[in-house]
Amino acid sequence: MKYSLLTIFVLLLLAACQSDPPAEQRSPEEVLKAYQGLVDKNKLEEAKALSTEAGKEWLDELAEIIASEQPDSTIFHTAFLSTNCEGKGDTLICQCVLEDQYERYTSDYILVQSADGQWLVDAPPDDLQIDDDLLENVPDSVIEDILEEDFVQ
């Protein structure tokens, strides 16, 4: 009798100690939040686990940009205020309202489902549209940094 109680205790202990569900079981929203949290902390190598091949290349480019900045200026805390993911098949476009320590803004993410069922964040589209709202989506601190650099040179 003691052996079966010990076995049950061990099984319950193992079940209680399980970590997050595997990435393939995460919803698109959970993947987005985990991905953005890693990017916010400059943990770009870890974010690659949640990225497509194109997304990994984009993260490499981002790493080069971040390397030239002061480390504390590239750390963010992004909160997802709303997320709306729509699409058919293995591709979703998620329109999100986000807020960081500087402002509230909108951003679109593309998620692609891998062959094993895991949702992965794809690279942002290259063909960004420039419109009147573009500068409104850039944090004021970034614009100030750009202007300061232009005056210094």
Closest CA to 42 of 21, 63, 70, 12: 63
Identify the structural domains of the chain with CATH numbers, from first to last.
23-126 (3.10.450.50)
| 88-143 pLDDT tens trace | 889 999 999 999 988 999 999 999 999 999 999 999 876 544 444 555 555 666 66
| 36-48 pLDDT tens trace | 999 999 999 999 9
The three-class DSSP label of residue 84 is strand
Please check whether residue 81 is in contact with residue 98, taking contact to mean a CB–CB distance below 8 angstroms: yes
